[in-house]
Amino acid sequence: MKKSRTSFLFFCSLLVNILVLENNKIVSQNLPDSTLFYYNSVKEIKNVSETLDAFKFFENQSRKAQARNDSIQVAYYLELISFGQFKLGLYNDSEASAIKALTFLSEIDSSKVKKPLMRLYNQLGLLYRKIDDYNNSLLFYNKALTLQDDDLKSKIAIITNIANINADQNLFHKAVEILNPYYSEALTLENSNIKANYIDNLGFYQTYAGDEKKGLGNMKLALSIREELNDLTGLFSSYRHHALYHLKKGDKILASNYIEKTKSISNKINSKVYQRETLQLELSLENNPAFNKFVSLTNFLEKEQRLKENKFAAIKYNIAESERKLKESQLQTEKQKQFKFFYFFLGFFLLMVSVFVYFFLKAKNRRDRLLQVYDTEKRISKKIHDEVANDVYRVMSKFQSEYEYQQGLLDDLEIIYNKTRDISKENEAVNFEEDFGTVLVNLFQNYDNKEIQVITKNLSSIVWTSISDLKKAALYRVFQELMTNMKRHSRATLVIFSFEYKQKRINIYYTDNGVGCNLNIGSGLRNVETRIHSVNGIINFESKPGEGFKVKITL
């Protein structure tokens, strides 16, 4: 029952998105009576038919808001629908509603819609956690955390979700370490689902981390809060945790008592997901090995099916958002065209200098050493040309021109310094002492910023200890080259790395949404090919103008 114990931990946090409701007090205070009624039926599900009626009501309200071009209200109604769908276990529908809400918010300056964005990012974190995509789940939780504006309730909600991801992977000590620093602050909050969820999860994880006395005390405190709030889904979570705790202790009588309470709640909510979980708890009382194996296999097959059915709506949303931003940047691109002529003539001059250096060295050294020196000089010369010399020349020109241009001199020099530092970084040694998966994550994070989002899929599924250092070094340099080319040339805003282990070989897929090109293997891509071929790998490139850039690597 190990998997069963953690798989349903997801339901422990489904109330965390009550933040949708708590952070919209100003809005809710002005709602008409009918809206407030449906609002409450989503906030706390006590009657499923009323909640389903609320979905229809909010869908109608969102259409009216859309007709009057009120994107914030459209997103708000869709957010409520997504939250309710999630609480009922309708995860695909909830994901679609959340992404649709994000699409409407993308039309507005992000500084004006920080709270709605935070809540929707948190919602997507919950959804991706549900399909065990922990990397993307953490990605959205961290996005939400950056937008929470020091609001304690928001912070507690998101921190709880991050701890839950560790608990899902049976890292209970780490989950407790994440939650513990906020305990005193959480107790100062008024009684709410967020407070109860934090305390209940902390207590449950403490019982698995070896501190049963504190853990059980916190679980009881959370239960009393939920009883006061009369929140059915929260009570189900508390009763389930108590049942699991007493099952672990071997006290079947107390466990059975709490299981009966979960059964009563699941019948009131009338959720098949809750009812199935209750039935699984009942059968766990028998501790039948065959049943435990059946549950484990069922959970595995369900996970596989969810991965197949998932539409990756969030990724589609990010791509659509990137395309929108790309169109907006075309005007800026047009302004930059005038610099290309300058770069061309300066490049021609530097090329002539490089040719001169080549023939000078050729006359003084033997042919075999000369070629090696030339290759090195050519690479360094190109780096200086592309990254430093052009900007140095431009700064000198500014300094000699009118006064107003001189004010930007220090900023330009700082840019040149950063580029020079990047050249050094690209050639630093690869750390093989650390887990290589973590090394790659750190590499990708260097490029992940407000303009460029880097997503990895299934990176943790690769057993890097079975890969030689030579191959890992080649991969690291190849990824550096791809990301550098992307940053310089593609104007991409989204990069996806997918990893796959198949038939004793590793397949790696790189995709960006940049401007693409008519594929012509230049020195950069040729270096990439050479590195992969040197470790007996296979690499293919694919690109067309306007269709981004794709690479497949097989090792």
Q: How high is the pLDDT of residue 7?
A: 46
Task: Report whether pLDDT(279) > 60.
Answer: yes
Greater model confidence, 189 or 374: 189
Mean pLDDT of 330-354: 66
Q: How high is the pLDDT of residue 174?
A: 94
- Per-residue pLDDT band at 372 (split at 50, 70, 90): very low
Q: How high is the pLDDT of residue 34?
A: 74
Mean pLDDT of 97-111: 85
Q: How high is the pLDDT of residue 432?
A: 72
Which fold, 2-311?
1.25.40
Mean pLDDT of 344-373: 61
Architecture field, domain 429-555: 2-Layer Sandwich (3.30)
Question: Quick one: 509 exposed, middle or buried, by C-beta within 10 A (0-12, 13-18, 19+)?
Answer: middle
Q: How high is the pLDDT of residue 175?
A: 93
C-beta of residue 440 within 8 angstroms of C-beta of residue 476: yes
Q: How high is the pLDDT of residue 15?
A: 43
Task: Report whether pLDDT(305) > 90.
Answer: no
Mean pLDDT of 238-258: 90
Task: Report whether pLDDT(508) > 90.
Answer: yes
* Number of Cβ atoms within 10 Å of the Cβ of 149: 10
Cα separation, 351 vs 104, whole angstroms:
50
Q: How high is the pLDDT of residue 115?
A: 86
Q: For residue 130, give both structure tokens.
A: 């549900």
The string over 372-389, giving b where at least 16 C-beta atoms fall within 10 Å of a residue's C-beta and e elsewhere, is: eebeeeeeebbbbbbbbb
Greater model confidence, 245 or 360: 245
Exposure of 509 in the CB half-sphere (CA atoms within 13 A): 9
Task: Report whether pLDDT(22) > 50.
Answer: no
Cα separation, 282 vs 284, whole angstroms:
5
Q: Where are the domains of the chain?
A: 2-311, 429-555
Mean predicted lDDT score pLDDT of the chain: 77
User: What is each CA distance from 67 to 103, 106, 515, in whole angstroms?
Assistant: 16, 17, 34
C-beta of residue 76 within 8 angstroms of C-beta of residue 27: yes
Least confident of 92-96, 153-157, 457-461, 497-501: 92-96
Q: Helices (DSSP H) in 427-493: which residue ranges? A: 436-445, 469-485
Instruction: Tell me which DSSP letter residue 329 carries.
Output: T
Q: How high is the pLDDT of residue 242?
A: 93
Greater model confidence, 30 or 337: 337
Q: What is the pLDDT of residues 167-224, one digit of tens each?
A: 988 999 999 999 999 999 999 999 888 899 999 999 999 999 999 999 999 999 999 9
Greater model confidence, 285 or 30: 285
* Number of Cβ atoms within 10 Å of the Cβ of 273: 15
**Closest by CA position to 83, among listed 30, 32, 133, 119:** 119
Cα separation, 278 vs 169, whole angstroms:
22
C-beta of residue 182 within 8 angstroms of C-beta of residue 163: no
Task: Report whether pLDDT(318) > 70.
Answer: no
Greater model confidence, 81 or 335: 81
Task: Report whether pLDDT(78) > 80.
Answer: yes
pLDDT > 90 fraction of the chain, expressed in percent and rounded:
19
**Closest by CA position to 409, among listed 396, 418, 419:** 396
Which helix (H) or strand (E) segment holds residue 107: the answer is: none
Q: What is the pLDDT of residues 352-363, one digit of tens each?
A: 777 777 766 654
* Number of Cβ atoms within 10 Å of the Cβ of 37: 14
Greater model confidence, 440 or 20: 440
Q: What is the pLDDT of residues 125-157, one digit of tens each?
A: 888 787 778 888 888 888 888 887 778 888 898
Q: In what order do the strands lie in the sheet with 549-554?
A: 453-457, 494-502, 505-512, 549-554, 538-543
Q: Work out the angle at residue 510's Cα, subtended by the Cα atoms of residues 504 and 512, and round it to the nearest 5 degrees.
A: 165
What is the gyration radius of the CA atoms in the chain, in angstroms?
Answer: 28
Task: Report whether pLDDT(29) > 50.
Answer: no
Question: Quick one: 118 exposed, middle or buried, by C-beta within 10 A (0-12, 13-18, 19+)?
Answer: buried
